[in-house]
Amino acid sequence: VCVCVCVCVCVCVCEKELCPVFFRAVFLKLGASACPTGCHCTEKSGTTAVQCTSGNLESIPSDLPRDTVALLLASNRITKIPNYAFRQLGRLQELDLSDNNIETVEAAAFHGLADSLRALDLANNRIQSVPKEAFAHLRAKINLSNNPWHCECVLQEVLRELRLDPQSVKDVVCRTAVQEEYAGRSLIQVLDSGINFCNFHHKTTDVAMFVTMFGWFGMVIAYVVYYVRHNREDARRHLEYLKSLPGGARMAKDLDTVSTVL
């Protein structure tokens, strides 16, 4: 017995084998989102590749098909990768965000892609720094070349956990650094030479603490000096007052002697 509806009725009468196939195709179509505006989607073997290259996009599309395995967003005007931007794309394997204007990568930008993502391209953007959590647990091969990186402790710790694309490593260059002498040099070469940016961070923190402590100590000394001087002036006026009283000269002399001993 074959139970079908609408347009599938005639298929059941003639070719019973075609009805289940037809329904599966319909359900796949209904379950997948339409292709985002300005993009071209290609379906193959139940998966979708989304091509949005050079589409003048200013943000990452929110209506991407859930079965997307490749998302190409290169050469657009995207400035930010917000938290959970790809949380619906549990099958995403390739993500190309190169040649954009990206300045900000939020801490949970790639949340949900740890198990699926295999390639991530962020080359030729405007990224100076990223939070430690941004690439946490990602196993993808990552291209971070040609960004204006600020080389310091956090970036060093981030790179320690990444799987960088070997062909792009030399192009991860310090535009600026905690020590000016390393600006303009390849970050990997600097680290390979034994430089540890986290040591600079600790030294800077220690100096700041020392300056702060010295400042507080100076304030305490200044207060003590002021207090002593102020009370000495009060004591002098008090002695002069006692001397002006009848028989006060002897008393003032005794108090002055006691004060000197103390």
Domain segments of the chain as ranges: 40-195, 196-238
Q: Are 72 and 48 in contact (CB under 8 A)?
A: no
Average pLDDT over residues 36-41: 93
Q: Are 196 and 151 in contact (CB under 8 A)?
A: no
- Burial of 192 per CB tally in 10 Å (0-12, 13-18, 19+): exposed
Q: Which stretch of 42-46, 82-86, 100-104, 258-262 has the lowest confidence by average pLDDT?
A: 258-262
Please, which pLDDT band fits residue 30 given cuts at 50, 70 and 90? very low
3-class DSSP state of 222: helix
Please, which pLDDT band fits residue 259 given cuts at 50, 70 and 90? low
**pLDDT per residue as tens digits for the range 80-114:** 999 999 999 999 999 999 999 999 999 999 999 99
Q: Write down the pLDDT at residue 93.
A: 98
Q: Are 58 and 76 in contact (CB under 8 A)?
A: yes
Amino acid at 67: D
**pLDDT per residue as tens digits for the range 194-251:** 899 998 544 444 444 544 555 555 676 666 566 666 666 666 666 666 556 665 556 5
Q: Write down the pLDDT at residue 76.
A: 98
Q: Are 118 and 97 in contact (CB under 8 A)?
A: no
Task: Report the alpha-carbon distance of residue 41 to residue 43 in Å, rounded.
Answer: 7
> Smallest Cα–Cα separation from 128: which of 59, 163, 175?
175
Amino acid at 6: C
Amino acid at 115: D
3-class DSSP state of 130: coil
Q: 48 has which bridge partners?
A: 43, 68
Q: Write down the pLDDT at residue 199.
A: 86
Q: What share of the chain has pLDDT > 70, as a percent?
A: 64
The mean of the pLDDT values for the chain is: 79
Q: Write down the pLDDT at residue 18.
A: 45
Q: Which stretch of 6-10, 29-33, 48-52, 193-197 has the lowest confidence by average pLDDT?
A: 6-10
Is the domain 40-195 a CATH 3.40.225.10 member? no
Task: Report the alpha-carbon distance of residue 252 to residue 239 in Å, rounded.
Answer: 6
